[in-house]
Amino acid sequence: MFGLGNRKVLKYSAIETSLSIDVEDTVTCFCRKARRKEKDAGTTEDPKLYLEEAALERQLPELDLRMLVDLPPGLDYNEWLASHTLALFDHINLVYGTISEFCTMTGCPDMTGPGLRTYLWFDEKGKKTRVAAPQYIDYVMTFTQRTVSDETIFPTKYANEFPSSFESIVRKILRLLYHVVAHIYHCHFREVALLGLHAHLNCVFAHLTLLNQRFNLIDPKETEILGDLEAALLGKFYTLSPRPSLRPLLPPMRY
């Protein structure tokens, strides 16, 4: 697990899932049906449990979801990005930590996502390497922790300013965190659901998706693999125009 230093971030309150007590039976039943469909279709794609209606839970009401990402008037754009980036890092890190024991070198020899997507790690010299999912995610979390702890990049002191390249750095962090979320949905959603954390994961995904919709921070080629989840979870109503909002200043959202 990784810490976040002393910068204030958007905090999520504890989520009480409404999933019924027979969640294990529901998950097992769906997996059996999905395997039968997969066998009949002759495909190697894993079943998408996260698209089941019973799994499409989230905890924020409609208005809060939209207001969560709108830039309040008078607030610095980079400061807004920093707060959301830290919150997303915090909660994606926490969610992954709950299922990390199931993400092993043997069970997840490649860093994969839906649609048979495989992610390669690019080192500081631009060399790409194929690594197991737990190693890839460790690289992501280590890189992000080091970056957000760097006072020259994520300043916490009043006199310090954000670098001119700050948005591009945020783009890279969010892209990598998106890979982690995609892997969790693709390979470990069953464990997430059995732990009763699916609503929390969906809320984190909604947060990341709406922030991206508002500020165009992640390449569409990266997000298309979870486009079906985005449509099912958020729907057309939640499509946001890519521009800052002029809403009144809001208190920090909790979810």
- The pLDDT score that the predictor gives to residue 248 is 34
Q: Is residue 147 part of a domain?
A: yes
By residue count, the chain amounts to: 255
Q: Is residue 56 part of a domain?
A: no
CATH number, domain containing residue 89: 1.20.140.30
**pTM of the predicted model, to two decimals?**
0.80
Q: Is residue 180 part of a domain?
A: yes
Q: In which domain, by residue range, is 114 found?
A: 85-236
- The pLDDT score that the predictor gives to residue 255 is 42
Domain count, the chain: 1
Q: What is the pLDDT along the chain (255 residues), one digit of tens a residue?
A: 444 445 555 555 444 444 444 455 555 545 554 444 444 444 456 678 888 887 887 656 655 777 889 999 999 999 999 999 999 999 999 999 999 999 999 999 999 999 889 999 998 888 899 999 999 999 999 999 999 999 999 999 888 999 999 999 999 999 999 999 999 999 999 999 999 999 999 999 999 999 999 999 999 999 999 999 999 888 744 555 555 433 333 334 444
- The pLDDT score that the predictor gives to residue 41 is 41
Residue 249 per-residue DSSP state: P
Q: Is residue 4 part of a domain?
A: no
Q: Is residue 241 part of a domain?
A: no
Annotated binding site: 103, 108, 183, 188
Q: Is residue 65 part of a domain?
A: no
Between CA 225 and CA 237 the distance in angstroms is: 20
Annotated binding site for Zn(2+): 103, 108, 183, 188
Q: Is residue 71 part of a domain?
A: no
- The pLDDT score that the predictor gives to residue 51 is 87
**Helices marked H in the chain:** 23-41, 62-69, 77-99, 133-148, 166-194, 198-215, 220-223, 227-233
- The pLDDT score that the predictor gives to residue 159 is 84
- The pLDDT score that the predictor gives to residue 59 is 58
Between CA 71 and CA 127 the distance in angstroms is: 36
